[in-house]
Each structure stands twice: as C-alpha cells, then as structure tokens.
C-alpha cells in the first residue's frame, strides 16, 4: 500500500512538472529560417508565430511566390525545432520514459 501512495505522489509531481513545462513552452522562442536566412520566422515553442522577417532583396513583385514559399518553409523549420525542443524537455522531465497516453505537450 505504501508503494501505491508513493507512486501516486510521483504521478502528481509529474503532472505539476508538466504544467510548469507547458507554461515555459509558451515563453520559449524558436527561430526557423529558409532561403539561406533570407526569411526567418520566430515562434514560441508551442508554435505561435511571433515575428516574420523578410530580407529586402526579396521585396520585388515578381518574387512574391518565392517569398510565400520561403515563409512556409521557415515556419516548418521553426515547428520542427519546437518539436525537438519539446521532446528534449519532456525526456529531461520524465528521465527518458515516454509520456503516458493523453499527456501531450504540443
């Protein structure tokens, strides 16, 4: 019975740590880039876009489609970096164990 109480305490501690990590992910920023850095997108680790930067050399009417594609690519790069960051933080939190079902961070 004592083992069960200890396990319940560990689960509650893990939940509290997960909640803290969720809040931290809202403030951590990740930068994705495309086109050799001509387009950058800054997002939170949770994926909210904070800033988009486009190099002035791309600001030509005939480059519109390229710029749009680069923004999508930079956003995807930021998303991939965010997912990696979340995975690393989750591993640190759980000691490398997979998260239980239903405890998603993203």
Domain of residue 72, CATH code = 3.30.1310.10
Q: Count of domains in the chain?
A: 1
Reduced 3-state DSSP string for the chain: CHHHHHHHHHHHHHHHHHHHHHHHHHHCEEEEEECCCCEEEEEECCCCEEEEEECHHHCCHHHHHHHHHHHHHHHHHHHHHHHHHHHHHHHHHHCCCCCCCCCCCC
Summarised one tens digit per residue, pLDDT across range 14-60 is 788 888 888 888 898 999 999 999 999 999 988 889 999 999 998 89
pTM: 0.68
Residue ranges making up the domain that contains 40: 2-94
Task: Specify if 102 maps to a domain.
Answer: no
**CA 88, CA 84: separation in Å to the nearest integer?**
6
Task: Specify if 13 maps to a domain.
Answer: yes
Hey, what are 84's tokens? 């990696």
Task: Specify if 100 maps to a domain.
Answer: no
């Amino acid at each position: 019975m004592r083992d069960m109480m200890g396990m319940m305490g560990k689960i509650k501690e893990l939940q509290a740590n997960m909640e803290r990590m969720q809040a931290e992910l809202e403030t951590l920023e990740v930068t994705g880039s495309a086109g050799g850095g001509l387009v950058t997108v800054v997002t939170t680790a949770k994926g909210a876009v904070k800033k988009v930067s486009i190099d002035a050399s791309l600001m030509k009417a005939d480059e519109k489609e390229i710029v749009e594609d680069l923004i999508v690519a930079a956003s995807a790069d930021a998303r991939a970096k965010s997912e990696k960051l979340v995975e690393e933080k989750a591993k640190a939190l759980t000691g490398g164990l997979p998260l239980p079902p239903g405890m998603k961070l993203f």
